[in-house]
Amino acid sequence: MADRSTIEWTEATWNPVTGCTKVSAGCDNCYAETFAERWRGIPGHPYEQGFDLRFWPDRLDQPRRWRRPRVIFVNSMSDLYHQRVPASYVERVLETIRDTPQHTYQVLTKRSGKMASVMRRLQPDPLPNLWLGTSIEDDDYVARADHLRDTPAAVRFLSLEPLLAPVPSLDLTGIDWVIVGGESGPRHRPVEQHWVTEIRDRCVDAGVPFFFKQWGGLRPKSGGRELEGRTWDEMPTLRQPVLA
């Protein structure tokens, strides 16, 4: 768990699961996989197993020890709704979220269909401190937003990162927040400005908070964050934290 995250739209990270497998083009140059595989085979390292899926039940209580309210990105190094993560383990993660109302949790997945079915069963009444989101990299995957709309959540958000193509079919109905970002790393695929501005304009028209994370490049900060002369750091309104 990292008390301070370099991800611009969160404050901390919590990884009760690590590792994942690829499901679509947005996964091709996964930053988490690149990082984890550097340590494969090093005895005693948290990523000794590289990016293979691993459960960390000893981490489930970590947020309970944090008294100061934080915005926490859950599974920055995995996907809580991976096909090999059982619903019983998701329930244990939800227990921690329920028990720590002082924190706000952000969960992001590409497996939006499983998220919808699991959450309808485990948490049909949305938790006020849980934001649920899905990643969409191009127009082939806009149906993930439909799954998200079918998921009980206090806040529903989209991460269009890495944005690999325009998304003209994207429906923003029922969406509370949109993040857009270009890809970074040595094999990054460039993002076109008009793809970003078209999404920004639609968010403005719909009254949906818009967050532009980065242009990307060799490094995440290579291209900066300005879009037409300003930064876009809009977020949903944070509720008042409940101190446990």
Q: Does residue 146 form part of some domain?
A: yes
**228 part of a folded domain:** no
How many domains are contained in the chain?
Answer: 1
The mean per-residue pLDDT over the stretch 138-149 comes to: 98
Residue 220 lies in a domain: no
Q: How far, in Å, CA of 73 to CA of 239, rounded?
A: 16
DSSP states along 50-113: TTS-EE-GGGTTGGGG--S--EEEETTTB-TT-TTS-HHHHHHHHHHHHH-TTSEEEEEES-HH
Q: Tokens 């998200």 label which residue?
A: 148
What are 196-229's pLDDT values in tens digits?
A: 999 999 999 999 999 999 999 999 889 999 999 9
Q: Using CA of residue 157, residue 160, residue 165, residue 166, what is the dihedral sign?
A: positive
What lies within 8 Å, CB to CB, of 230 at 6+ separation is: none
pLDDT over 60 at 1, yes or no: no
Which segments of 142-186 does DSSP mark as H helices, in order?
Answer: 143-149
In this structure, what CATH number is given to the domain that contains residue 172?
Answer: 3.80.30.30
Residue 229 lies in a domain: no
Reported as a single tens digit per residue, the pLDDT across 20-75 is 999 999 999 999 999 999 999 999 999 999 999 999 999 999 999 998 999 999 99
Q: Is residue 174 in a domain?
A: yes
In whole angstroms, what is the distance from residue 146 CA to residue 152 CA? 12
Q: Is 238 among the domain residues?
A: no
pLDDT at 5: 79
Q: Is residue 120 part of a domain?
A: yes
Range of the domain at 110: 57-214
pLDDT at 238: 72
Domain-located, residue 36 = no
Q: Calculate mean pLDDT across residues 126-149.
A: 98
pTM: 0.95
Structure tokens at 111: 């497996």
Count the Cβ atoms, other than its own, within 10 Å of residue 103: 25
**pLDDT for the residue 98:** 98
